[in-house]
Structure 1
């Protein structure tokens, strides 16, 4: 059967595969459009499988609120070129819409196949790395922020008030998270083993300091504890100096905002997403 340009164009529109690939698939399928699509899909899946071990450090984070729900989706890929592709962006947006519409809280086959369908056409390794659904209580405020590179984002929910001042603070906290990238939210979350490891590091450094040798043990212990406290204040979100007011910690700023709206506030949900890090 003769393969016409119109047939190739039709298959191209249906699959997004290259023109030469479309022509070859139609030739192999003797002009059968459905069979040609199947050939291209199988070819694309095979290419994706071969690339499954390739690093996916590029991609895009998507965040959207619908009613009292906030959906978070992250789709990773191999190259920045694909991450900026309009179809790649649209694919992630469709996945996010499904998450919000159906209340999905994790990546399932339906969502993964939406990404896989696009991956087979680009023959690039892709992954649906994050799917999360957050419910915002009636007495709470939510903040959302996506950095300009779409690879850094945050969502913060503060319980206790839906006042605009609290909403503004919640968004500022999102910007703080992206800027400071804390490892933990509170000191209570820091593993004891990690603290012990840091103590040993600081103690070793102090033992090598000649000026420390003559100091009493209780003084050394006080200095060691001071170093630990300073380190924890640098890696814990609530103890960090607030990015918009470096005279106050995040926790102190939360209390200040709470006083201004005459409410008791607390962090209900803290999410920091960093692609490729």
Structure 2
């Protein structure tokens, strides 16, 4: 039984597999679409273990906010071709819905949860087989507060959002200010809300590096304490959300902007696809 270009297109749309794989499947199944789908599934499942070592550096970030709870999930794949496919986007939404339903706070608990008689990990393994790429949930965050807002950013117009932030805030203007802060966080990549969240080990290491750098530069001994303190404060200004220069008004810190508006920022999470934070 022969197959046509329309058959290849239909198989690609139904499975998300690549063109060459679809041609091979149709050849092996003598043009039978159902058999070709089964061939691709079997072939894909056989390749799941082989793909475990691959790097899934593409994908998307999805977010859900319901009242005072925000959920952020990063779902990864290998190529931008799959990242923008309808099947992958639908899968990511399904995973997000499950994260919201079970109140997941991390990837491990989400992957182990039951979704229609399968674990989420098993659902991902099937997607791995069908799409022919490594598919994984890298990170999950749950943020709670009086008011929670989200912001998703597309780094390219033809790709789904690859940066996402959720921010919890309290106060009369929490929604407006929280949205501004979420957009800021997406752009400026803070790692913690306040300096209290920076571990003593990190601060000690920053002090050590600041001192070593100052000595390499030949700075005078009497100036060392001030120089070290200034560079450690510089670290805080770069990484602490509330101490960063606000993107919209750089003369103000994020914390200062929120305080002027009568708003307190109480929590946040930010993901960028493929990044560590």
Report the TM range for the smaller structure's normalisation: 0.7 to 0.9
Residue number among 132, 140, 152 corresponding to 2:163 in the alignment = 152
Task: Provide Cα deviations, 1:120-145, integer angstroms capped at 9, x if missing partner.
Answer: 11211110222344444xxx222211
Aligned match of 2:270 = 272
Residue number among 201, 206, 209 corresponding to 1:198 in the alignment = 206
Q: Structure 1 pair 233/38, CA: closer, same or farther in 2 (3 Å)?
A: same
Q: How many residues align?
A: 254
Aligned match of 2:259 = 255
What residue ranges of structure 2 are gaps of 5+ in the alignment?
Answer: 113-118, 156-160
Q: Structure 1 pair 100/204, CA: closer, same or farther in 2 (3 Å)?
A: closer
Aligned match of 2:196 = 188
Task: Provide Cα deviations, 1:226-247, integer angstroms capped at 9, x if missing partner.
Answer: 2222332222111111111212
Aligned match of 2:123 = 114
2:62 matched to 1:59?
no
After TM superposition, the structure 1 = structure 2 runs for residues 127-142 of structure 1, keeping only pairs within 5 Å, are: 127-136=136-145, 140-142=146-148
Helix, strand or coil at the partner of 2:261: helix
CA drift at 1:116: 2.5
In structure 2, distance between residues paired with 1:230 and 1:131: 29
CA RMSD of aligned residues (A): 3.0
In structure 2, distance between residues paired with 1:203 and 1:153: 36
CA contact (8 A) 2:99 2:110 kept: no
Task: Provide Cα deviations, 1:168-220, integer angstroms capped at 9, x if missing partner.
Answer: 1111111111221123322112222222222222222332445x33x6x3x43
Q: Structure 1 pair 36/93, CA: closer, same or farther in 2 (3 Å)?
A: same
Structure with greater Cα Rg: 1
Taking structure 2 as the reference length, the TM-score comes to 0.78
In structure 1, distance between residues paired with 2:111 and 2:63: 18
In structure 1, distance between residues paired with 2:72 and 2:230: 38
CA contact (8 A) 2:77 2:134 kept: yes
Residue number among 141, 149, 153 corresponding to 1:143 in the alignment = 149
Aligned match of 1:262 = none
CA drift at 1:224: 2.4
CA drift at 1:92: 0.9
Aligned match of 1:80 = 80
Q: Structure 1 pair 56/170, CA: closer, same or farther in 2 (3 Å)?
A: same
Task: Provide Cα deviations, 1:47-93, integer angstroms capped at 9, x if missing partner.
Answer: 22211101111000111224554332211011111111121111111
Q: Structure 1 pair 166/49, CA: closer, same or farther in 2 (3 Å)?
A: same
